[in-house]
Structure 1
Amino acid sequence: MSIKKFFYEDNHFLEYNDYNSSFSKALILLPGTFGTIKQNELAEFYKEKNIRLLVVSRVGYGNSTYKQLENYLEYANILIRLFDFLKLDNFSLFGISAGALHCYCLDTLISKRIENIFIYSGMAAINEKEVIQCYGNYEQIKRFYEFFAKQSEKENGEFMFNFYNEIFDEEFKKSDRYKDTIANDKKALGQEVKLQSKDWGFTIKDVSSKVYMYHAKDDKEVPFQAVEKTVEILKNSSLKLVEKGGHFNRPSFYKFNEFIASKL
């Protein structure tokens, strides 16, 4: 399936991939901070399950045009316009890492259209004090987000790029995830962390859809204690907590997708 463009206003568009669009059951994937809409392998997996997979770009990722956003709600409302355009009335959401927050935001706006929310290695609700205090280096994390809130999107993007560039191997740097994330002079990457540090425009206490979460205890990005506290705040959620797997592990990722397919 070729990449498509959704123009939500003059000269501004989001890229998206609409895989297996002939199927009635639909799953919408919102990737993590380092993410791409190019999910051909995952689409083949869901094709065998007779499931439609829609993967939508962040604002400014890949070839999508960059626009400065006020908060999560602004992006969510663009997504809703895309869903309306595609005549998607009922669907499930699948959030990976920071994509979890975008799923929660959508649910506060259109919960009646959402059947279930699935979260893999999801970001915790760091805007809740009892959650961010679960981070072992709480004071440092708090200062980081205060820093992101004051800096520009471009400055944040450069910071994130320099930080992660020392961690990522050369193979990852050749991937679509990497290239699509640092597009638009890294401003989109910087905007993602800035949205996390600002007022979100919603609270996860208002999420009403069923949330299924998968997380590993050895996840270095998101402490499982913070995820457990997030689960307590969500009204209707369950957490599968495993010992090993880190922030991403291919076998566990596809095992979770098997679970998702069984619920659709």
Structure 2
Amino acid sequence: MTELHYGSVRLRDGRHLEFNDWNPGGGPPVVLLHGSPGSRHFHPDQQATHASGVRLITYDRPGFGRSHRREGRELLDTAADVDQLGDHLGLDRFALVGISAGGAHALACAHVLGDRLAT
């Protein structure tokens, strides 16, 4: 089955984001942004993740799960969090998937991080 690592990244502003890394060291990295409500524990079927060969990274968006909230947060702030998560995990490029309300966050990331995103 797919290997799972749990982790936390401390952001430059001192907050923490909790994440799950499915299939670390595996295929192309894909960062999944969950809907509302939701958490890093939302993921597609584990067998499908394994069969696809992707490295699936899920994280608790700020204020959800175990990630720290940020007062005055705006939608475009998501990009800085995802950028720092990618740095922490050593990802040069990665794909994004946004589920439900996570779709707006994925679009914000695409707007800010366009050159870093895989197509």
AA of the residue aligned to 2:80 = N
1:29-81 CA-to-partner distances (Å, cap 9, x unmatched) read: 10111112114663432112211100011102112222213311222212101
Normalising by structure 2, report the TM-score: 0.85
Normalising by structure 1, report the TM-score: 0.41
Cα distance in 1, alignment partners of residues 43 and 114 from structure 2? 28
Aligned match of 1:165 = none
Larger % of strand: which?
2
Aligned-residue sequence identity (percent) comes to: 28
Cα distance in 1, alignment partners of residues 113 and 46 from structure 2? 25
Q: Which of 32, 47, 54 does residue 44 from structure 1 map onto?
A: 47
Cα distance in 1, alignment partners of residues 78 and 8 from structure 2? 15
Aligned match of 2:31 = 28
Cα distance in 2, alignment partners of residues 71 and 11 from structure 1? 17
| 1:115 CA drift (Å) | 2.4
Aligned match of 2:66 = 63
Cα distance in 2, alignment partners of residues 6 and 25 from structure 1? 21
Q: 1:191-206, aligned counterparts within 5 Å? A: none
SS in 1 for 2:80: helix
Cα distance in 1, alignment partners of residues 77 and 65 from structure 2? 19
Q: Which of 78, 83, 100 does residue 80 from structure 1 map onto?
A: 83
Aligned match of 1:54 = 57
2:111 maps to 1:108: yes
1:211-236 CA-to-partner distances (Å, cap 9, x unmatched) read: xxxxxxxxxxxxxxxxxxxxxxxxxx
* Conserved 8 A contact 2:78-2:109: no
Which ranges in structure 2 are unaligned for 5 or more consecutive residues?
A: none
Q: Which of 11, 15, 18 does residue 18 from structure 2 map onto?
A: 15
Larger % of helix: which?
1
AA of the residue aligned to 2:95 = S
| 1:24 CA drift (Å) | 3.0
| Closer/same/farther in 2, CA of residues 74 and 41 from structure 1, 3 Å limit | closer
SS in 1 for 2:52: coil
Q: 1:124-163, aligned counterparts within 5 Å? A: none
- The Cα RMSD (Å) is 1.9
Structure possessing the higher relative contact order (Cα contacts under 8 Å, 6 or more residues apart): 2
- Count residues with an aligned counterpart: 116
Cα distance in 1, alignment partners of residues 112 and 14 from structure 2? 26
1:67-102 CA-to-partner distances (Å, cap 9, x unmatched) read: 213311222212101111212122211111111111
AA of the residue aligned to 1:4 = G
